[in-house]
Amino acid sequence: MAASAMAGQQIEMMGAAAARPRRRTESVAERNRALLEAQHKARRGPTPEVFFAKHLDNTRLVKADDPERRREMRQFAVVMSMLFVLVMVYVWQHFLAIEIGYRVEAQKQQVEQLREQNHQLRLNEAQLTDPERIDKIAKQLGLDAPQPGQVVRPDGSETNAPVWAEANAPAMAPR
């Protein structure tokens, strides 16, 4: 019904524009502008748009307390808090496991490095304690095998003195 009323208004406006006597000075652009304005007025509808400002004072209103809703919200808050705590514990454990994994890998690398260093040190020790090498260096320094009586021991015993052989019999264990 509103559409037919709008169409009727458009026809009336166009008819009114056609009923006016045309002036020779009226151009096509002015006529088109007048028709466009008529269409815009017809689109608004039969009633003008009016907005009223409502001034409401809600300061004296007091919201009624709903114990059922309060209980539900408290339960919801407790459940969500528990869920949050559980998720945080899981995340904490997960990151702790990852951190421990990194530590284990670092210590494995350190152990492997220390094993390689130990192996290199043993090889170095074996090269340095080689009797042929020691004899060769001694000859380069002009050292020779000691003559009898040249060796003096800190305990005061002589190397050329006869040594008594002792045999210690194993003790019998009681039966």
- Residue 15 located in a structural domain: yes
Sequence-ordered alpha helix ranges (H) in the chain? 2-19, 28-43, 67-128, 131-140
- The pLDDT tens digits for 148-173 are 777 777 776 665 666 666 666 666 66
Mean pLDDT of 77-93: 98
Q: Which residues of 67-90 are buried (b: 16+ CB within 10 A; e: fewer)?
A: eeeeeeeeeeeeeeeeeeeeeeee
Within 10 angstroms of residue 125's Cβ, the number of other Cβ atoms is 10
- Residue 20 located in a structural domain: yes
The pLDDT of residue 64 is: 85
- Residue 31 located in a structural domain: yes
User: How many independent structural domains does the chain possess?
Assistant: 1
pLDDT for 82 beyond 60: yes
pLDDT for 54 beyond 60: yes
Q: In terms of residue numbers, what domain contains 23? A: 1-58
